[in-house]
Copies of this chain bind each other. A is one copy, B any other.
């Protein structure tokens, strides 16, 4: 086996740990529990035990390059602290890097989960061979990340990439961040449900209304199912997703003139339904896009050499963050060599 690293994804609802080799092959993946355990020490115990298990198993045939951990929340990358995390309430100002380095005696690299996912897509997914790229992740909220010259662009304090809070409608729906009309208010799973409920409340969206009553979960996926079955009200909700993404992407393309933009996260499963609206807005709203648009924006597999502005869906699904996390210590190792 080649040299390998351990990637940890502590971003979603469960804890996942994988051994990934230098060429990007997933050697083994462990998924722990259906939910992240409530106690912080319990999470760290489980994580370290799983990592030790994997490293013991493979250490005779290959060398370990380190451990990368993607965590949802606000991190202080430099000092290796979790500042604040919605899914990990007991982790405020917790020095997670130092603790794991102490327990396992190896290099640990932390990264925000959205950044780890972007690094994964850039290494092995939709943005392969594109050292400059942006990713927008449409989940419960809308996350984002920038990779410039092959490295995460953190900005001054690690807060860069918050494309989810691009203003789309200056007097639009209030957002948790304090702004109004953020992209997140039109393109997250939460927004999809809200917009469907607005359509129901305004009357006429009969299919949506029936589904909302009969389906106890009634989530973005239910609305997506109705949209592919042809319900016009459900489709309209996703067109609003596409329009908002198009407005945000127009500003991003005009500002950075990147060649590659990857749309990931759960809502991106509805790509076929919302993406035509993205391209329509982009052509109209971004002169940089208009000057560099591919003849067929939906065509896949375009190389970096085409010098076109590509907007495409993510390829690695929920594994993107795991691959990206494993990539972190590899990049650090290249720098050290």
Lowest 6 A-B CB distances belong to which pairs? A155-B257, A160-B257, A162-B254, A179-B285, A177-B287, A159-B257
- A178 located at the interface, meaning its Cβ lies under 8 Å from any Cβ of chain B in the complex: yes
Tell me the chain A residues, 125-183 only, with Cβ under 8 Å from chain B: 132, 144, 146, 148, 153-163, 165-170, 177-180
- Does A77 sit at the interface, judged by CB under 8 A? no
How far apart are the CA atoms of A163 and B250 in the complex, in Å?
Answer: 11
- Are A178 and B254 within 8 A (Cβ)? no
17 contacts between A and B (CB under 8 A): A132-B155, A146-B255, A156-B258, A156-B307, A156-B309, A158-B257, A159-B288, A160-B257, A165-B285, A168-B170, A169-B170, A170-B247, A178-B284, A178-B287, A179-B285, A179-B286, A251-B251
Which of B160, B169, B307 contacts A256 (CB under 8 A)?
Answer: B160
Contact of A288 (CB < 8 Å), options: B162, B259, B307: B162
**A155 near B287 (CB under 8 angstroms)?**
no
Q: Does A55 sit at the interface, judged by CB under 8 A?
A: no
Contacts of A250 in B (CB 8 A): 165, 167, 179
Instruction: Please tell me if A290 contacts chain B, counting CB pairs below 8 Å.
Output: yes
Is A163's CB under 8 angstroms from B254's CB?
A: yes
A3 within 8 A of B: no
Contacts of A146 in B (CB 8 A): 255-256
Beta-carbon contact of B290 and A165 below 8 Å: no
A87 located at the interface, meaning its Cβ lies under 8 Å from any Cβ of chain B in the complex:
no
**CB–CB A156/B259 < 8 A:** yes
Check if B167 sits within 8 Å of A251, measured CB to CB. Answer: yes
Residues of B near A257 (CB, < 8 A) are 154-160, 162
A219 interface residue (CB < 8 Å to B)? no
Q: Report if A292 contacts B (CB, 8 A).
A: yes
| Complex Cα gap A174–B252 (Å) | 19
Number of copies: 2
- Docked complex Cα distance between A153 and B256 (Å): 8
Tell me how far the C-beta of A98 lies from the nearest C-beta in chain B, rounded to whole angstroms: 22
Q: Which residues of B contact A132 (CB under 8 A)?
A: 155-156
- In the complex, A320 Cα to B90 Cα: how many Å? 50
- A interface residues, how many (CB within 8 angstroms): 45
Which of B170, B285, B292 contacts A156 (CB under 8 A)? B292
Nearest-Cβ distance from residue A126 to partner chain B, whole angstroms = 17
Please report the C-alpha to C-alpha distance between residue A168 and residue B172 in the assembled complex, in whole angstroms: 12
Which of these, B162, B169, B179, contacts A255 with CB under 8 Å?
Answer: B162
Contacts of A247 in B (CB 8 A): 167, 170
Task: Say if the beta carbon of A291 comes within 8 Å of chain B.
Answer: yes
Contact call B255/A157, Cβ cutoff below 8 A? no
Distance in angstroms from A285 CB to nearest chain B CB is 4
Query: Within A8-41, which residues are at the interface with B (CB < 8 Å)?
Result: none
CB distance from A151 to the nearest CB of B (A): 11
What's the minimum C-beta distance from A213 to chain B, rounded to whole angstroms?
A: 33
Which residues of A116-132 have CB atoms within 8 Å of chain B's CB atoms? 132
- Interchain CB contact under 8 A, B168 and A292: no
Contact A255 B163 (CB under 8 A): yes
- Name A293-337 residues within 8 Å CB distance of B: 307, 309
Most central of A166, A169, A256 by chain B CB within 10 Å:
A256
